[in-house]
Amino acid sequence: MVDLSAKAGQKSTDIEKLTAAKDIPGLIKALHSDDMKMQTEVAKALGSLGPAAMDALILELKKKDKDHNLVIIKALSEIRDPKPVPVLIGMLKDENSEVRWGAAIALGEIGDIQAIEPLVTCLRDHDKYVRYGSAYSLEMLGWKPQNEEERAFLLVGKQEWEAVELLGDSAVPALTNILHDRHSIVRIKAVETLGELKSPSAIPVLMQSLADEDSEVRWKTVLASEKSGIKLMHLPRGLSRRPKKKKNPWIAGFLNFILPGLGYAYLAKWWGVMIYEIDIFVTIWLWQYWGEFSFEALLPIYFVLAVHAYYITVKMPEDPP
Amino acid sequence: MDIEAMKNAQDVRGLIKLLDHEKYDVQWRAADALGSMGEIACDPLLKVLTFPKIHVRIGVIEALGAIASPKSVEPLINTLMTDKNHEVRWVAAVALGEIGDKRAIPPLVASLREEDRYVRYGSARALEQIGWSAETEEDLAYYHIALEDWDAIKKMGKSATTPLTEMLRDEHPPIRERIVRILGSIGDGVGGRSCERILRDPDENVRWCGVLSSQKCGIPPRELPLELSKRVRTGPSAIGAALLNLIFLGCGYDYLGKWWGLIILEIFLLLFLISQLLVGIKVSVMIWAPITAVFAAQTYFMAKREAALAG
């Protein structure tokens, strides 16, 4: 038996041998090849082995190994057998976004219409890759949106912003859904598109985005808000709710008093922990050098450090909006 | 909390208290109600215009803007010029626009040159509302910059150069980048001070745009490397790192951003303490000083090399 497990430079003849021997585990190992052409060939070989191979592949998906799962999902999307569809639908809820993305694409490639409903749900995923993959697959499956709101989710998934704009009010839910996307670029697009809808129904969500953590998103929200008809007068209040990195002067002072230096560390000064380390060292050293040593003598120093930490926190300028 | 009832009962004091309510929507509904009450709310509101809490000041100004009493113009101008909070200055500018009193024009024009893009924007919109039209090309340029109407600025051509270079002090790199590109497309000799400012910008993208724009402004390439090299380097000082490592081995590495600097410091302090217990303070200093000196020298060269690589 030829063992192909993780060797590079496997040959087609080896695949033939494995196929002839119906060595399904060997072929599954060979799927891990780095060569994309090889992967496809192995997948085809597995496909030719019929139900037994499919069952083995489906069993592999049960393993909690992201990279392995992605390899199997890719193979399944090339074999295009409908048998793994229920398992793949289940994987649309995997906690790993790459697995969800892969499963969504595989379901489109396999082309079984029972995947449509779960894929429509995935258009609301919080990950842009999953949304994009689901939109792609739904089109592969020939899905047509039932209403304008669903169409908006499809177009947002494909990031076709200009087409979304034309949908008017019905695009608001789909755009609202992506206002919490991890990537500020996506949020900016969402906000800009909401503005272009020129619709009062975008007002509540835009007011939320005024307090976005990203400064560029906040600015674009201001411009978009005016287009939706929010009075400029109401925007500053919304902006004032932006997250502020203001530190508490009392915490800084207290920390510096009991653990000198850590108050500075709390204020994100890189040398805070250093001062703390050195303080401990010097205290031990003094104690060792003088033998009996009164710690009260150090208290005034700690107090000065505490006041200093308090003072610089209060004096810290406010973050610009 | 029946805001509507309080409004009908003309409970100005009660409503002003609600401006400090913990709930956001109560705050703005109270401000709305106060704004609809007219003159009688004006004096009590002006008394709390400098209240320490930001959301209260914003609420007060929202209401004053809606009441639009001429009495509130001077205090609002004062807020626009002196308040430390960006949002408060912004809402003051907008309120002055709502009131529409011509006395607000000079301070609003001055605010077009503000550092904060929101205050600039609010001032420009307020001036629009009051029916202001720019008397000088310079004011017009600042106005367009405030609205971030980049096409209009490009059309202004050379007369916008000075305001554009002046606004390079904006803290948002995307705005500076935009300005630099426009300066390049205008192609006026962005010589002297402004060119220096662009080429020494702390942001890499802005500097690069500056290099590209400088060519269009007729600044010969041979002058660029030297200018660029004069920029403020935010990187750590090599001597500082070396000195720190000489005294407390590990501190210098931490200063250079090495995560393991602290571990080295820990180990150093521990070993120093042990050696001191064994051989006494004088001998252990004599043992350790040459060792940390070697590390200090190594740190110095490492910092220099890293600075050179960072460019």
CB A80 within 8 A of CB A111: yes
Average pLDDT over all residues of chain B? 89
Same-domain pairing of B160 and B253: no
Does B58 fall in a domain?
A: yes
pLDDT of residue B75: 96
Same-domain pairing of B18 and B112: yes
The answer, as to whether pTM is greater than 0.90, is no
pLDDT of residue A1: 46
pLDDT of residue B194: 67
pLDDT of residue A6: 47
d(CA B287, CA B278): 12
C-alpha distance from B272 to closest chain A C-alpha (Å): 10
Same-domain pairing of B24 and B104: yes
Task: Kindly list the structural domains of chain A, giving each domain's residue range(s) and its CATH number in brackets, ordered by start.
Answer: 161-239 (1.25.10), 249-315 (no CATH)
Same-domain pairing of B21 and B109: yes
Once rounded to an integer, what is the mean pLDDT over residues A20-43?
Answer: 87
Place of tokens 């947002």: A156
Question: Among B128, B161, B190, where does a domain finish?
Answer: B128
Once rounded to an integer, what is the mean pLDDT over residues B74-83?
Answer: 96
Nearest of B30, B33, B55, B34 to residue B44 by alpha carbon: B34
Once rounded to an integer, what is the mean pLDDT over residues A141-153?
Answer: 95
Same-domain pairing of B123 and B44: yes
**Residue contacts between A and B (CB atoms, under 8 Å):** 88
pLDDT of residue A136: 95
pLDDT of residue B152: 93
Q: Please list every residue in chain A whose beta carbon sits closer than 8 Å to the beta carbon of residue B255.
A: 270-271
Does B249 fall in a domain?
A: yes
Does B288 fall in a domain?
A: yes
Same-domain pairing of B261 and B225: no
pLDDT of residue A35: 84
8 Å CB contact of A234 and B28: yes
pLDDT of residue A115: 95
Q: Which amino acid is at B188?
A: D
Question: Among B204, B229, B254, where does a domain finish?
Answer: B229
Q: Please list every residue in chain A whose beta carbon sits closer than 8 Å to the beta carbon of residue B266.
A: 277
8 Å CB contact of B55 and A320: no
8 Å CB contact of A236 and B116: no
CATH number at residue B217: 1.25.10
Same-domain pairing of B83 and B161: no
Q: Please list every residue in chain B whose beta carbon sits closer than 8 Å to the beta carbon of residue A207.
A: none
Does B134 fall in a domain?
A: no
Helix axes A66-79, A51-61, angle to 10 degrees: 150
Tokens of A130: 């999953």
In a mutational test of the B interface, the residue from A240, A244, A318 whose CB has the highest number of chain B CBs within 10 Å is: A240
**Could you give the 3-state DSSP secondary structure of residue A92?**
coil
How many Å separate Cα A267 from the centre of its chain?
28
Q: Give the confidence band of A90 by pLDDT, cuts at 50, 70, 90.
A: very high
Distance in angstroms between the alpha carbons of the first and the last residue of chain B: 61
C-alpha distance from A317 to closest chain B C-alpha (Å): 9
Average pLDDT over all residues of chain A? 89
pLDDT of residue B193: 57
Using a CB–CB cut-off of 8 Å, the residues of A that contact B are 215-216, 219, 222, 232-237, 239-241, 270-271, 273-274, 277-278, 281, 284-285, 288-289, 318, 320-321
8 Å CB contact of A237 and B91: yes
Same-domain pairing of B288 and B258: yes
Tokens of A51: 């139900």
8 Å CB contact of A274 and B251: yes
**Could you give the 3-state DSSP secondary structure of residue B218?**
coil
CATH number at residue B15: 1.25.10.10
CB A100 within 8 A of CB A78: no
Total tally of structural domains belonging to chain B: 3
Q: Which amino acid is at B9?
A: A
Same-domain pairing of B30 and B105: yes
Neighbours of B172 (CB within 10 A): 16
d(CA B49, CA B299): 55
Q: Please list every residue in chain A whose beta carbon sits closer than 8 Å to the beta carbon of residue B257.
A: 270
Once rounded to an integer, what is the mean pLDDT over residues B18-45?
Answer: 93
Nearest CB among A215, A236, A274 relative to B91 is that of A236
Does B305 fall in a domain?
A: yes
Place of tokens 């029946």: B2
pLDDT of residue A244: 82
CB B163 within 8 A of CB B142: yes
* pLDDT, tens digit (0-9, with 9 covering 90-100), for B265-305: 989 988 988 898 888 888 988 999 999 999 999 999 998 88
The chain A residue lying nearest B90, using CA atoms, is: A236
Does B261 fall in a domain?
A: yes
Nearest CB among B55, B266, B281 relative to A240 is that of B55
Once rounded to an integer, what is the mean pLDDT over residues B42-67?
Answer: 95
d(CA B36, CA B44): 14
Q: Please list every residue in chain A whose beta carbon sits closer than 8 Å to the beta carbon of residue B85.
A: 240, 318
CB B224 within 8 A of CB B190: no
How many Å separate Cα B152 from the centre of its chain?
25
Within chain B, residue ranges assigned H as helices are 3-8, 12-18, 24-35, 42-47, 54-67, 73-82, 86-99, 105-111, 117-130, 137-146, 150-156, 161-166, 173-186, 192-199, 204-216, 224-229, 238-247, 251-255, 261-279, 281-310
Once rounded to an integer, what is the mean pLDDT over residues A27-31?
Answer: 89
pLDDT of residue B190: 53
Does B144 fall in a domain?
A: no
pLDDT of residue B189: 58
C-alpha distance from B187 to closest chain A C-alpha (Å): 28
8 Å CB contact of A320 and B87: no
Residue B91 scores a pLDDT above 70: yes
Residue B87 scores a pLDDT above 60: yes
Same-domain pairing of B288 and B179: no
Nearest CB among A219, A233, A281 relative to B117 is that of A219
pLDDT top residue among A6 and A321: A321
For residue B256, the enclosing domain spans 238-310
Does B209 fall in a domain?
A: yes
C-alpha distance from A130 to closest chain B C-alpha (Å): 30
Residue A79's Cβ-count burial label (10 Å; 0-12, 13-18, 19+) is buried
Same-domain pairing of B106 and B17: yes
User: Quick one: residue B201, left, alpha or beta (phi over 0 = left, psi -120 to 50 = alpha)?
Assistant: beta
CB B76 within 8 A of CB B92: yes
Same-domain pairing of B80 and B167: no
Question: Among B178, B207, B229, where does a domain finish?
Answer: B229
- How many CA atoms does the CB half-sphere of A188 hold within 13 Å? 9
pLDDT of residue B125: 95
pLDDT of residue A8: 45
Place of tokens 């790199």: B173
d(CA B98, CA B130): 8
Neighbours of A229 (CB within 10 A): 11
